[in-house]
Structure 1
Amino acid sequence: MPRYMVERTFPDGLHIPMNSEGAAACQSVVERNADLGVTWVHSYVSDDKQKTYCLYDGPTPEAIRQAAERNGLPVDRISKVAVLDPYFYQ
């Protein structure tokens, strides 16, 4: 399955509470994604919470974009990526 980096901008910041409400919100994203064969691997959030860099596995960039739309999430850019690991060369 191809892997993609999804860059997003949240002008007002991304605010997901660190409680059961936040966990439920994240689980909803996972469930909607699954309908399209998309898996959220993990995300990196900037200190100001205005940018996220999210790793997804999915069949196509279009499926990733459609999943984002279903979840009400912005998409700035979708890039197909591969892992570069410093231990690969050892």
Structure 2
Amino acid sequence: MTEPTTLIPLSQARAGQRVRIHSLPQQPECRSRLAAMGIQISSELEVLRLGAPGGLLHLANGFLEFMLRRDVAHHMTVELLANASP
């Protein structure tokens, strides 16, 4: 039997964690910008760094690195996968 998936807002992920996207923000501008970078539901991201409290998240999807505002990240739900490094 598999354990239920725990979903959290992307804004709560910590540096070094890998996540899988389960939902995107509802704002069309945000969705289209993310889609232009290849970010979609089921994409896996690595949280590289966190800015000052309330600041930006530095994320990676393969070779693509990008910054995302925490208020946008708060509207994305993700599943924690594993830490990027042991």
TM-score of the superposed pair, with normalisation by structure 1:
0.30
Larger relative helix fraction:
1
Compare CA radii of gyration and give the structure with the larger one. Answer: 1
Which is strand-richer, 1 or 2? Answer: 2
